[in-house]
């Protein structure tokens, strides 16, 4: 029944998107080009409403028997309403964060939180009073991380689909039916929207869509990896390595340049790849590949030994650092590893 509903969500999203496009144009939910954006003409940006409605249809069909169902749905309503208002009126960052905070608190009130973190050698780190702020920070952070990568046609939808597919697969192997159902329905809904959003896009998902995806993924990540015996919190972090690292280095970049954390710029990963000469389509597919690589690493990590897990974590960190330095994600002059490599090669040449 889950797989049939997956296709229903896919078809519902595909059928609703043209209707939502007309609504977006009618209510003025459009994205106007500017110096920071890649597109060159006005675009409707309420597309997230289409795959949200498709997702709700799927949830009504399956009605997952879980105490987490209502908190997730109520929180998603808050996220979507905030996103719709932002897509139409362009809300201030404070108002948007307030909406995200309320949605996160609904989840905490519903009994979902990071109460502990599994450690090596059967260790457990109990978070006690840190549990609630860490949970809220995680949900708000991932919600906005997906929003920040939504800068090219099909990028956020495709990366989120890879993440959702990975979460669904891991949930299926672990027997976590609620996470499997929710991730599968959201995956089907997002894929139904993606053909309209891939380059050249006919409609953007807007904050309605990117924040919804980030919110649902953040909650699923909290629910789906409590039984991983090694570094339980690291698994979802690796799955989400692309949006998390892009957001983290955006914060570092703004601190280094002494700019406000909310200040927009054109130095995100996709902007850097475009400056290297890649087309929009090539850039999106390249980032899809990165996301798939990290997803595979997360799958391997969830079943690896201690030594294997440590090697995977080190490998992932090394890849991220090399990408950051190679594309200039912090700045053109930030290249510690690459410069160290050049010095070693230079010294090796002198020795010979």
> How far is Cα 185 from Cα 151, in angstroms, rounded to an integer?
24
Secondary structure (3-state) at 123? strand
Q: Cβ-count burial of 87 within 10 angstroms (0-12 exposed, 13-18 middle, 19+ buried)?
A: buried
pLDDT tens for 292-336 read: 999 999 999 888 877 888 899 999 999 999 999 999 888 888 899
Mean pLDDT, range 219-248, rounded to an integer: 80
What is the average pLDDT across 40-65?
A: 94
Instruction: Specify the 3-state DSSP secondary structure of 111.
Output: coil
What is the tens place of the pLDDT at every residue in 190-227? 999 999 999 899 999 999 999 999 999 999 999 977 55
pLDDT at 232 (0 to 100): 57
Q: Tell whether the model's pLDDT for residue 272 goes beyond 70.
A: yes
> Of 25-34, 167-176, 318-327, which range is least confident?
25-34
Average pLDDT over residues 273-278: 91
Report d(CA 196, CA 228) in Å as an integer. 37
Q: Annotation-wise, does 207 bind a ligand?
A: yes
Tell me if 139 sits within 8 A of 107, measured CB to CB: yes
* Position with higher pLDDT, 352 vs 338: 338
Which residues touch 341 (CB under 8 Å, ≥6 apart)?
none
pLDDT at 301: 87
What's the average model confidence in pLDDT over 227-249? 79
Return the percentage of the chain with pLDDT > 70, whole number.
93
Check whether 86 is labelled as a binding-site residue.
no
pTM, full prediction: 0.93
CA angle in degrees (0–180, nearest 5) for 53-159-184: 45
Q: Which residue has the tokens 């954006």?
A: 37
How far is it, in rounded angstroms, from Cα 274 to Cα 247?
18
Is a pLDDT exceeding 70 seen at residue 99? Answer: yes
Buried b / exposed e across 221-251, counting CB within 10 Å, b at 16+?
bbbbbeebebbbbbbbbbbbbbbbbbbebbe
Half-sphere exposure of 59 (CA within 13 A, CB side): 21
Alpha-carbon span 56 to 216, nearest angstrom: 12
Least confident window among 8-22, 140-154, 245-259? 245-259
For 335, counting Cβ atoms within 10 Å of its Cβ (0-12 exposed, 13-18 middle, 19+ buried), the class is middle
The arithmetic mean of pLDDT across residues 162-169, rounded, is 96
CB 161 within 8 A of CB 295: no
- State the chain's mean pLDDT as an integer: 90
Chain centroid to Cα 298, Å, comes to: 15
pLDDT score of 228 more than 50: no
Give the model's confidence band at 32: pLDDT under 50 very low, under 70 low, under 90 confident, else very high: confident
In this structure, what token pair is assigned to residue 171?
Answer: 């949930």
The residue-averaged pLDDT of 226-240 equals 70
């Amino acid at each position: 029944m889950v797989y049939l509903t997956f296709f229903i969500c896919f078809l519902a999203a595909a059928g609703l998107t043209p209707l939502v496009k007309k609504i977006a144009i009618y209510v003025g939910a459009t994205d106007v080009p500017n110096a920071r954006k890649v597109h060159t003409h006005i675009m409707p940006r309420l597309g997230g409403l289409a795959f949200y409605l498709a997702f709700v249809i799927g949830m009504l069909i399956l009605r997952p028997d879980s105490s987490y169902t209502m908190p997730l749905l109520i929180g998603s309503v808050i996220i979507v309403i905030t996103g719709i208002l932002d897509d139409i009126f362009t809300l201030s960052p404070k108002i948007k964060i307030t909406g995200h905070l309320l949605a996160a608190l609904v989840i905490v009130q519903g009994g979902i939180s990071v109460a502990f973190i599994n450690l090596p050698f059967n260790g457990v780190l109990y978070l006690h009073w840190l549990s609630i702020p860490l949970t809220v920070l995680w949900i708000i952070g991932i919600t906005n991380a997906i929003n920040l990568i939504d800068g090219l046609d099909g990028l956020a939808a495709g990366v989120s689909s890879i993440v959702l597919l990975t979460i669904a697969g891991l949930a299926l192997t672990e027997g976590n039916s609620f996470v499997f159902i929710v991730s599968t329905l959201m995956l089907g809904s997002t894929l139904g929207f993606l053909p309209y959003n891939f380059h050249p896009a006919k409609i953007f998902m807007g904050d309605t869509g990117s924040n919804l995806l980030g919110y649902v993924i953040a909650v699923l990540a909290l629910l789906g990896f409590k039984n991983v015996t090694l570094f339980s919190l690291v698994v979802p972090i690796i799955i989400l390595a692309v949006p998390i690292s892009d957001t983290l280095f955006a914060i570092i970049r703004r601190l280094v340049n002494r700019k406000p954390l909310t200040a927009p710029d054109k130095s995100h990963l996709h902007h850097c790849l475009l400056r290297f000469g890649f087309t929009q389509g090539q850039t999106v597919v390249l980032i899809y590949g990165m996301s798939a690589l990290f997803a595979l690493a997360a799958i391997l990590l969830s079943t690896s030994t201690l030594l294997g897990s440590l090697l995977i974590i080190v490998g992932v960190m090394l890849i991220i650092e090399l990408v950051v330095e190679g594309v200039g994600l912090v700045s053109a002059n930030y290249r510690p590893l690459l410069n160290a490599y050049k010095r070693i090669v230079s010294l090796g040449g002198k020795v010979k």
